[in-house]
Amino acid sequence: MSGTGPVGVGVIGAGNISDEYLRAMSAAPDLRVVAIADLDPGRAAAQAAAYGIAQEPAPAALLARDDVELVVNLTIPAAHAEVGLAAVEAGKHVWAEKPLALDRADAQRLLDAAAVAGVVVGNAPDTILGEAIQHSQRLLDDGAIGAPRTLLTLMQGPGPDVWHPRPQFLFARGAGPLFDIGPYYVSTMVQLLGSIVGVEALGSRPRDVRTVGAGPEAGAGFPVEVWTHVSVLLRFASGVIGTSVFSFDSWVERQLFEITGDAGTLEVPVSGFDGPSRIKPAGDRTAPWRELPPPGTPRARGAGVVEMGRAVRAGVPPRASGDLAFHVLDVMLAIEESADAGGRAIELTSRAPRVEPLPTDWDPTAATLPDAGRAS
Q: Give me the domains of the chain, ranges plus CATH numbers.
A: 128-292 (3.30.360.10)
pLDDT in tens, 184-229: 999 999 999 999 999 999 999 999 999 999 999 999 999 999 999 9
pLDDT at 375 over 50: no
- 280 assigned to active site: no
pLDDT at position 38 is 96
- One-letter amino acid of 114: A
Phi, psi of 235 (to 5 degrees): -125, 125
Q: For residues 11-26, give the mean pLDDT.
A: 95
Q: For residues 325-330, give the mean pLDDT.
A: 98
pLDDT in tens, 62-104: 999 999 999 999 998 889 999 999 999 999 999 999 999 999 9
Task: Kindly report the average pLDDT of the chain as a whole number.
Answer: 95
Model pTM score: 0.93
pLDDT in tens, 282-291: 998 899 999 9
Return d(Cα 45, Cα 36) in angstroms, integer.
Answer: 8
pLDDT at 371 over 90: no
Q: For residues 336-350, give the mean pLDDT.
A: 97
CB atoms within 10 A of CB 256: 16
Residue of 80, 92, 98, 327 with catalytic role = 98
**Range list of β-strands (E), 165-240:** 196-204, 209-211, 221-223, 229-236
**Range list of β-strands (E), 145-299:** 148-156, 196-204, 209-211, 221-223, 229-236, 241-247, 254-261, 264-267, 277-281, 290-292
Residues of the chain above pLDDT 90, percent: 91
- DSSP letter at 251? S
- Cβ-based neighbours of 115, under 8 Å, separated by 6 or more: none
Q: How far is CA 203 from CA 19, 245, 256, 338, in A?
A: 33, 10, 20, 9
CB atoms within 10 A of CB 5: 14
Specify the higher pLDDT residue, 371 or 375.
371
pLDDT at 376 over 50: no
- pLDDT band for position 16 (cuts 50, 70, 90): confident
- One-letter amino acid of 205: R
pLDDT at 3 over 90: no
pLDDT in tens, 104-154: 999 999 999 999 999 999 999 999 999 999 999 999 999 999 999 999 999
pLDDT at position 1 is 46
Return d(Cα 129, Cα 133) in angstroms, integer.
Answer: 7
pLDDT in tens, 292-312: 999 988 899 999 999 999 999
Return d(Cα 306, Cα 120) in angstroms, integer.
Answer: 13
Max distance between CA atoms of the chain, in angstroms, equals 63
